[in-house]
């Protein structure tokens, strides 16, 4: 029985790889959902930690110098820079994976059929 034209059989026999399609979904999931979920998860902890530090060091010279300097501006600048580099690294990793599977497909197209 020849099942070479059956997509379901090709998927089961690993002649057709589903990973490149799954990788595109995982990339967008990771690039959009994970940062948003992380923000909502960690924001309360950051607020509590900052409030605790300010409570214990109210009259400290460190807190006064942080208030005088543009600490919030620097914090957001560094947060945006780190976020950008993390998104870039995420993109590069997925481009590598997709290129790997494209090389596999090209090599399989050159190979004779069994």
Tell me the per-residue pLDDT of 26-71, one tens digit each, with 9 for 90 and over: 999 999 998 898 889 888 887 887 777 667 666 666 666 666 566 6
Asked whether residue 49 is assigned to any structural domain, the reply reads yes
Asked whether residue 66 is assigned to any structural domain, the reply reads yes
Side-chain-facing half-sphere of 55: CA atoms under 13 Å: 6
Whole-number Å distance between alpha carbons of 79 and 89: 15
Rounded mean pLDDT of 98-109?
85
Asked whether residue 94 is assigned to any structural domain, the reply reads yes
Please tell me the predicted confidence (pLDDT) of residue 114. 56
Handedness of CA 90, 93, 95, 98 (dihedral sign): negative
Rounded mean pLDDT of 59-88?
76
pTM above 0.85, yes or no: no
Rounded mean pLDDT of 7-31?
85
- Token pair of 56 as six digits: 């214990």
Please tell me the predicted confidence (pLDDT) of residue 60. 64
Is pLDDT of 77 > 70?
yes
Residue ranges making up the domain that contains 71: 16-99
Neighbouring residues of 32: CB distance < 8 A, sequence distance ≥ 6:
none
């Amino acid at each position: 029985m020849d099942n070479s034209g059956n997509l379901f059989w090709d998927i089961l026999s690993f002649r057709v790889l589903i990973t490149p399609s799954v990788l595109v979904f995982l990339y967008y999931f990771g690039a959009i959902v994970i940062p948003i979920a992380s923000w909502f998860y960690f924001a309360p902890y950051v607020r509590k930690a900052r409030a605790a530090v300010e409570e214990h060091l109210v009259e400290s010279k460190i807190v006064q110098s942080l208030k005088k300097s543009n600490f919030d501006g620097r914090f957001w600048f560094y947060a945006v820079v780190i976020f950008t580099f993390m998104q870039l690294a995420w993109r590069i990793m997925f481009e590598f994976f997709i290129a790997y599977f494209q090389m596999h497909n090209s090599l399989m197209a050159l190979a004779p059929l069994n």
